[in-house]
Amino acid sequence: MKKAFVIDTNLLLHDPNAMLRFEDNDVVLPITIIEELDRFKKQADVIGRNARQASRTLDKLRQQGHLTEGILLDSGGTLRVALCDKKILRELPAELEGDSADNAILAVALELKRHCQCPVVLVSKDINLRIKADALGLAAEDYKTDKVNVEGLYTGTGEVMVAAKEIEQLLKEGSLILNREFFPNQALTLIDSANPSHTALAVVDGASQRIVPLLKLPQSGISRIRPRNREQKFAFDLLLRDSIPLVTLVGKAGTGKTLLAIAAGLHKVADEKAYSRLLISRPVVPMGRDIGYLPGEVKEKLTPWMQPLYDNFDLIFGTQESSDKPRHWRRGHEELIEFGLLEIEPLTYIRGRTLPKQFFVVDEAQNLTPHEVKTILTRAGEGTKVVLTGDIDQIDNPYVDAASNGLSYVVEKFKRDPLAGHITLLKGERSDLAERAASLL
């Protein structure tokens, strides 16, 4: 049955094309949304860009007719801008007094419900607005177009019961074919059905679907880092395979996501010279209350945001360890930056760039929207490998959640693509305290 969807401003700030994604239903934009887009459009971040793009889309649509009368969309639905009836606004409960944007949106939805023959649904990413709508008798939903099922999110791993001779064949011949269906680049634990303690670790080759053993790692590890558990071995394997240009690593705090990615990137750039540069970036999203303006030049401003990355370099180069040499002699990553092998910058400057033959690590990717991740992946030039890391349970961006963030979205959309590989890291290796805190709190 055809429905009328009243949408909130935050949908357009999250996805500027959200107004066009309701198929053959009617989409209603309260006039207050236009005012809010005007307020956000001057921001330099992705929210400002989305506001400007949404405004341009509306300006293009209005050339087809009057927005207040409704414009026919290509999907078969209609879009119109609705004015707020002050009389309805005054009828709201005393607790909702005032002409705030949320109240105006509620008033438009209530008026539409009184006169519309079809079901009216308020769509917002604002949890409190959905609660208010429900209290007023309005149907309210979250924006679900880009949501994935977090409970069934692809882990990238699997266990397979096989005969002992099949494990021997894998180890001797270097490949194995099983008459079963696997995801491309899926990491597998082959278990001897007659002796469960007899196992082998392998990965599904994305191109041929043959099962091949994991790559052999140097005895000293990768950039002095050695995997401590099965999932970390799987992660290193995907990170070191040049045939897989997109790798996603998901896991709770302390599982080694960022450390493994940086270690593999350093090895590929400095040792194997398979890539021209290691580029590391992360979204500038604060945890909790922002500390406000930071003085100094760009490098000084970025230090608080990039310090977690510097900590990983200190661990890899051993510059955290005690030494008789002065601190400025133990520079670690700073020399790599001077030689042009390493670049660390915020994602703010990534739009418009082309990144050829680089090992590109995006840390804290759970704070990105699907639209932002698309922007990042489309920057990858010829020969570039992109690694997305993050913890979908630690999101600081108010516009996304575990089901709608860009990292989860990429994991689900690319799980059947031979160009991508994914691993969910399970065991924390930072310290016993960090692992216990991540599990209990």
- Domain assignment present for residue 75? The answer is yes
Q: Are residues 130 and 236 in the same domain?
A: no
Amino acid 331: pLDDT: 58
Q: Is the pLDDT of residue 242 over 80?
A: yes
Q: Mean pLDDT across the stretch 356-373?
A: 92
Instruction: Quickly state the pLDDT bin for 304 (edges 50, 70, 90).
Output: low
Question: How many Å apart are CA 252 and CA 250, to the nearest integer?
Answer: 7
- Domain assignment present for residue 152? The answer is no
Structure tokens at 220: 């000293």
**What's the half-sphere exposure (Cβ side, CA atoms, 13 Å) at 366?**
22
Q: Mean pLDDT across the stretch 360-386?
A: 92
Task: Give how far the C-alpha of residue 388 lies from the chain's centroid of Cα atoms, to the nearest Å.
Answer: 7
Q: Whole-model pTM?
A: 0.81
Q: Are residues 304 and 401 in the same domain?
A: yes
Q: Mean pLDDT across the stretch 128-157?
A: 90
Q: Are residues 126 and 262 in the same domain?
A: no
Q: Mean pLDDT across the stretch 90-94?
A: 80
- Domain assignment present for residue 153? The answer is no
In percent, the amount of the chain with pLDDT more than 90 equals 61
Task: Give how far the C-alpha of residue 304 lies from the chain's centroid of Cα atoms, to the nearest Å.
Answer: 21
**DSSP sequence for 127-145:** HHHHHHHHHTT-EEE---T
Q: Is the pLDDT of residue 162 over 50?
A: yes
Amino acid 230: pLDDT: 96
- Domain assignment present for residue 337? The answer is yes
Residue with tokens 């105006």: 104
Q: Is the pLDDT of residue 1 over 90?
A: no
Residues 405-428: b if buried by 16+ CB within 10 A, e if exposed: bbbbbbbbebbeebebbbbbbebb
- Looking at every residue in the chain, the average pLDDT score rounds to 88
Q: Of 212-216, 223-227, 276-280, 369-373, which gets the smallest average pLDDT?
A: 369-373
Q: Are residues 423 and 286 in the same domain?
A: yes
- Domain assignment present for residue 164? The answer is no
Beta-strand pair 211-213/199-204: antiparallel
Residues 57-70: b if buried by 16+ CB within 10 A, e if exposed: bbeebeeeeebeeb
Residue of 222, 310, 308 whose CA lies nearest to 261: 222
CATH of the domain at 106: 3.40.50.1010
Q: Is the pLDDT of residue 189 over 50?
A: yes
- Domain assignment present for residue 217? The answer is no
Alpha helices in 202-350 (DSSP H): 230-240, 257-266, 298-317, 333-338
Q: Is the pLDDT of residue 178 over 80?
A: yes
Q: Mean pLDDT across the stretch 278-292?
A: 64
Q: Are residues 120 and 256 in the same domain?
A: no
CATH of the domain at 265: 3.40.50.300
Instruction: Quickly state the pLDDT bin for 81 (edges 50, 70, 90).
Output: very high
Q: In what order do the strands lie in the sheet with 4-7?
A: 71-72, 78-82, 26-30, 4-7, 120-123, 139-141
Degrees to nearest 5, angle at CA 343 with 338 and 347: 155
- Domain assignment present for residue 165? The answer is no
By residue range, what is the domain housing residue 115?
4-141
Over its C-alpha atoms, the chain yields an Rg (Å, rounded) of 26
Q: Are residues 118 and 260 in the same domain?
A: no
Q: Is the pLDDT of residue 308 over 70?
A: yes
Q: Is the pLDDT of residue 289 over 50?
A: no
**DSSP sequence for 186-230:** -EEEEEESS-TT-EEEEEE-TTT--EEEPPPPPTT-BTTB---SH
Q: Is the pLDDT of residue 198 over 90?
A: yes
CA-based torsion, 345, 347, 351, 356: positive or negative: positive
Of 141, 167, 193, the last residue of a domain is 141
Of 103, 121, 141, the last residue of a domain is 141
Q: Are residues 351 and 242 in the same domain?
A: yes
Domain count, the chain: 2
Count of CB atoms within 10 A of residue 331's CB?
Answer: 14
Amino acid 320: pLDDT: 62
Q: Are residues 131 and 276 in the same domain?
A: no
Q: Are residues 238 and 378 in the same domain?
A: yes
Q: Are residues 136 and 232 in the same domain?
A: no
Of 86, 112, 141, the last residue of a domain is 141
Q: Are residues 132 and 241 in the same domain?
A: no
108 three-class SS: helix
Structure tokens at 87: 């009389």
- Domain assignment present for residue 420? The answer is yes
Q: Is the pLDDT of residue 284 over 80?
A: no
Amino acid 257: pLDDT: 95
